[in-house]
Amino acid sequence: MTFSLSTICTHVVLCGVLLVLMSALTYAAPCLDKPGRIWVMTGCVLLAVRMLLPFEWKVTKTIYISRIYPEITCFFNQTIQLPYLPAFPLYMVLLCFVAAISTVRLAGLALTQYRYRRYLRSLPVTEAFTIVNRLGRTKKVRCVTDPHASNALAIGLFKPQIVLPALSFTEQERSLVLRHELAHIASGDIALKLFVEIISSVYWWIPFIGALSRQTNAALELRADDLVTKELDESQRLAYLSCLLKVAKCGRRTPSPFAVGLMTGKEGSLKARFRYVLEHPRTSPLFHAVALLCIVMMALSFFVVFEPYHIPDDVRAETFSPRDEGAYLVLREDGGYDLYVKEAYMGMLTSIPEEIQSLPIKNYKEERP
């Protein structure tokens, strides 16, 4: 397992391309069915894991690039001298700068989480639940009402908590909101949201990184909607959607970045959730084919690294391509071959390599003066 400038460049390029593909995929099919939602969630998890491991492995396949890329790596490999410090390659200095900003961002997120959890501990517990998560473990969940909250949310990895806004919910609406947040907790969505947010904060400098968090949030909300509404009749589903609309009118701000809210995203995501619950849309076979291709690309990206391929000018002057005009072989009397390029003698060969077998072969006697 190695870490170098080539692995960093490969990491940035592949992750940027995959983020664009994921965004384009969900933009082309904003209303997903259950298999489509699973594809998107799988892609988000794989992409987050790929970003967590920017290394070159023993089984990594090297792809050599000879245009533009060598100049880029040469630029970032140049040594710079900082005052009172030893000389470092430019890319190492930039990495230290990026790491410093990432540390500040993570510290800010952790501080926001700590302050909000401390505030929640001051609120009275209105209800308590005991649930069984996907791993078969029981968890105790407390429920509080925050008079300043505009969104219902689930928060807390080890000590989960449900926060309800001070809205006039009916008994049925309150029950549906609680079921939605309990579905998040039982499915382990808080842990996944925490993982994705940390990855997004560390790699803030990669283009389109915001798409990873948006797509993950959308997939998590659709899964919770599915768990809540799959056993409801039509009137209960309408009541559930009415509840979503009531919360959306109050706002969608989540006070903690690691919390999973009832309402996330923009207006388009709310429309997609309405269609998902009411119409059960089906995505096209083309969507599934492209999604599968994206998943395969993400898996293969673990085993690929781009390396620069550069031939110095003094060496390039002494090299030739089999496609060069005027290149030919001369069969010698001893069975060997003389190689000529534009009438200039290049050397003797005992056999013909596969790369130049297409060159014309002349008789030694024909070339003698």
* Per-residue pLDDT at 368: 44
Percent of the chain with pLDDT over 70: 89
Structural domain count of the chain = 2
Say if 75 falls within a structural domain: yes
Same domain, yes or no, for 230 and 267? yes
Same domain, yes or no, for 293 and 345? no
CB 105 within 8 A of CB 123: no
How far does CA 200 lie from the centroid of its chain? Answer: 9
Say if 313 falls within a structural domain: no
Same domain, yes or no, for 354 and 272? no
Same domain, yes or no, for 226 and 340? no
Same domain, yes or no, for 206 and 333? no
**Per residue in 35-80, pLDDT tens?**
777 878 888 888 888 888 887 777 788 888 878 888 888 888 888 8
**Per residue in 265-292, pLDDT tens?**
665 578 888 888 887 777 778 778 888 8
* Per-residue pLDDT at 369: 44
Q: What is the largest CA-CA distance in the chain?
A: 107
C-alpha to C-alpha distance for 366 and 265, rounded to whole angstroms: 79
Same domain, yes or no, for 299 and 334? no
Same domain, yes or no, for 181 and 104? yes
Say if 311 falls within a structural domain: no
**Per residue in 1-43, pLDDT tens?**
677 788 888 888 888 888 888 777 777 666 667 777 787 888 8
pLDDT above 90: residue 212: no
pLDDT average, residue stretch 294-302: 83
Instruction: Please give the C-alpha separations between residue 189 and each of 137, 227, 244, 259, 271, in angstroms, as whole numbers.
Output: 15, 13, 19, 9, 22
Instruction: Please give the C-alpha separations between residue 104 and each of 39, 48, 90, 209, in angstroms, as whole numbers.
Output: 33, 20, 22, 18
Of 306, 329, 344, which residue is a domain's last?
A: 306
Say if 352 falls within a structural domain: yes
Same domain, yes or no, for 243 and 133? yes
Tokens found for residue 31: 């209303």
pLDDT above 70: residue 318: no
Of 280, 306, 332, which residue is a domain's last?
A: 306
Strands (E) across the chain are located at: 61-65, 79-80, 88-89, 125-132, 138-146, 153-155, 161-165, 260-261, 304-308, 327-331, 337-341, 344-349, 361-363
Percent of the chain with pLDDT over 90: 7
Give the structural domain span for 353. 320-367
Tokens found for residue 99: 């790491």
Say if 166 falls within a structural domain: yes
**Per residue in 152-169, pLDDT tens?**
889 988 888 999 888 888
Same domain, yes or no, for 231 and 84? yes
* Averaged pLDDT score across all residues of the chain: 81
* Per-residue pLDDT at 324: 58
pLDDT above 70: residue 357: yes
pLDDT above 60: residue 315: no
Same domain, yes or no, for 164 and 302? yes
pLDDT average, residue stretch 124-139: 78
Same domain, yes or no, for 299 and 324? no
Same domain, yes or no, for 149 and 257? yes
* Per-residue pLDDT at 312: 57
How far does CA 98 lie from the centroid of its chain? Answer: 18
Of 306, 330, 357, which residue is a domain's last?
A: 306
